[in-house]
Amino acid sequence: MGLRCNDALRKIEFHFATTIVIPQSILIHFIYVPSKPHSTSSLPPPDPIRSTLISKLKFNETSPFSYYGGIFHLIFVEFHKNYYLTLLQHNYTLTMNISTTIMPENRCSSINELFDDHIQMLSRWHRAKYYHILCQKHSNLACFYDNDYFMCLCDIDRHANCFKFDYRPVDNCFGYNYCENDAQCYLDNITCPTSFSCACKECYFGTRCQFTTIGFGLSLDDILGYSIWSNVPFSKQSNAVKISTLLTTLIFIIAVLDFALSVITFQTKRSLEVGVGIYLLAASITSFIIIIIFGLKYLFLLLSQMAIITNNSFLLGNCICTDFFLKAFSSIGDWLTACVNFERVITILLGVKFNKARSKKIAKRLILGINLFTLTSFIHDPFHRHLLEDTEEQRTWCVIRYSSSVRIYASFVNIFHFILPFCLNFIATLAIIVLIAREKSKTRQEQTYRELLCNQFHQHKHRLLSSLVLVIVAILRLIISFASTCMKSVRNPWLFIGGYFISFIPPLLIFAIFVLLSEFYRKEFKDATVRIRKTIQNRFHLQ
């Protein structure tokens, strides 16, 4: 069977039929059927011997291949919890290279699909009596399997030819699992191993299954990392990378404009007379910090995965800091916009009783408290990050390893910092509508109902619309994050790329929803720009 390390290796290449979704990896089961010795004709034939290898497909590959030096008569390929009979040779032929196609009609069906409930409930050996019937009843059936014990082939005479096939995962790495996240470890050769491979569970990927797309709050490394090809110029990178780069550049340009216009507006004396103005100035600064960190995160990920940046100290610092600060400041931004909308509700509720001086004092203390609380709640993140060397693809990854208790805490923190500001914005939207309706009843009765309602909505539209826009964007993020469950293949990252970039829409909307929709802040912006223009003209003696 090729038990010596110097046995010749044959390249076996697999192609997929056009109707089959290309997986991230395949398990290749080589089956060798030993001949029955003539001297022991009275004994049952020996069990077939199975060797299993794993072949992974890179993002830009469509045909996996493997090298194998043993003798085999059958090859079964396993992926997406399905088995396919891809090669059958009654007599072993020594061929240096083999190319075969995985066809849908060669899929091995489970007996759960073929037998009724009554037969499925029978014991293993009682079920085996009905195996021939399956081959005779289903003329196109090439093979089928019993999850308990057997793999069966339907021969030319439509008889079932079955052999023992253990479907339970077998640890082939001598008790040490090099893989992460409960992935199955396989060695390239049991006798003379030279490398290992990992069979990932669904929603996990990476050479060691180090990445996952399960849960809320995915990293850009998880979503886009494998779409970036090492040692390949940018012009030849995947469409996902090019489009993401374009979106990142566009986001940064919009953020610079939004920040400049927002700060011009909110730094005025009148804007800072109440807490809302202080919250908005802090939110503007925070939003710009978020986009700067995001831009650096994207740039460093792109350069490191293209093998342009290779310094481990720099990569480790980037790994520890960028995601931590990106998560923390994104949450701080959500809290600040929630504070804006909630104070606007209080302003409507109290009316002339609203205390501006007290509002300013509370705002300053609350901003400090939000920053300290949010940064502290994410402090676990940097301590669980490290670099992982991917020797197979010659990459360095930033990975995060949590214990089960820390993972629960991290998930809770991510959801808490998203859901609570979302709820505050949602409540603020409803409260504004209720307060508008209540104020309507206090106005002059000679106006019609429609006139009263329109007047109140017009008066408070900037408060209502700003809350409503933030709620709608948050709902989109929730739908994408939870309805899509997980990214099952790095070949189809578009939904998650969309969800990730949507999360940066709120930081870009500060000027649009808090200035352009507000008559007061529009006037402040115009007055501020006039003052700036006059200052420039006076300094440079311009007319």
Q: Tens digits of per-residue pLDDT, 254-286?
A: 999 999 999 999 999 999 999 999 999 999 999
| pLDDT above 70 (res 74) | yes
3 state SS of 100: strand
Report the DSSP pairing between strands 385-390 and 184-187: unpaired
| pLDDT above 70 (res 216) | no
The tokens describing 529, both together, are: 């720009």
- Please enumerate in sequence order all residues whose Cβ is within 8 A of that of 160, keeping only pairs 6 or more positions apart, or say none: 131, 132, 134, 135, 144, 152, 153, 154
- Strand partners of residue 389: 396
Sign of CA dihedral 350, 356, 361, 364: positive
Burial 222-242 (b: 16+ CB within 10 A, else e): bbbbbbbbeeeeeeebbebbe
Q: What is the pTM of this model?
A: 0.76
| pLDDT above 50 (res 2) | no
Q: Which domains does the chain have, with CATH numbers?
A: 10-35+46-205 (no CATH), 211-539 (1.20.1070.10)
Maximum separation of any 2 CA atoms in the chain, in Å: 112
Sign of CA dihedral 79, 85, 90, 93: negative
3 state SS of 297: helix
pLDDT band at 107 (very low <50, low <70, confident <90, very high): very high
Mark out the alpha helices in 174-274 (DSSP H runs): 220-224, 239-266
The tokens describing 160, both together, are: 């079932």
Per the listing, tokens 């089928």 go with 144
CB atoms within 10 A of CB 359: 21
205 touches 181 (CB < 8 A): no
- Strand partners of residue 231: none
- Please enumerate in sequence order all residues whose Cβ is within 8 A of that of 298, keeping only pairs 6 or more positions apart, or say none: 220, 244, 245, 248
**Range 359-362 contact pairs with CB under 8 angstroms and sequence separation of 24 or more:** 359/274, 359/275, 359/276, 360/272, 360/273, 360/274, 360/275, 360/278, 362/275
Report the DSSP pairing between strands 196-199 and 184-187: antiparallel
The tokens describing 82, both together, are: 């399905």
Among 69, 82, 27, 17, which residue's Cα sits nearest to residue 52?
Answer: 27
Sign of CA dihedral 495, 497, 500, 502: negative
190-204, 315-329, 520-534: the lowest-pLDDT one: 190-204
Among 25, 6, 3, which residue's Cα sits nearest to residue 16?
Answer: 25
Among 27, 1, 41, which residue's Cα sits nearest to residue 84?
Answer: 27
pLDDT for the residue 437: 64
Element (H, E) at 502: helix 494-502
What confidence tens digit (pLDDT) does each residue in 499-530 have? 889 888 889 989 988 898 888 899 999 999 99
92 touches 73 (CB < 8 A): yes
What confidence tens digit (pLDDT) does each residue in 451-489 have? 666 666 666 666 667 667 777 777 776 665 555 556 656
Helix pair 312-350, 356-377: axis angle to 10 deg = 150
| pLDDT above 90 (res 331) | yes
pLDDT for the residue 4: 44
pLDDT for the residue 24: 78
85-94, 127-136, 471-480, 526-535: the lowest-pLDDT one: 471-480
| pLDDT above 80 (res 391) | no
Mean pLDDT of the chain: 83
Distance CA 419, CA 124 (A): 50
Report the DSSP pairing between strands 143-145 and 107-110: parallel
